[in-house]
Amino acid sequence: MPKCDNCGSFVTTEYVRVFAPEGMNNPRVCPSCEDKVRDGGDVREARATRH
């Protein structure tokens, strides 16, 4: 079962296929992450917390 490398939340295999870099089994960040966001091909600190 894939999990987010940042927060440990469950993600679907479809999410991994679309958003994780090729060759990775888990995404580096997911929609459940409050402290990081995807920014193009990179991950950056969130400018504001999400709830």
The 10s digit of each residue's pLDDT in 2-51 is 999 999 999 999 999 998 888 989 998 988 888 888 888 888 888 876 65
Radius of gyration of the chain (CA): 10
Cβ neighbors of 23 (< 8 A, separation 6 or more) are none
**Spatial separation of the C-alpha atoms in residues 36 and 12, rounded to whole Å:** 19
Predicted TM-score (pTM) of the model is: 0.75
Q: Alpha-carbon torsion 43, 28, 21, 31, what sign? A: negative
**CA terminus-to-terminus distance, the chain:** 25
Count of alpha carbons within 13 angstroms of residue 7, beta-carbon side:
12
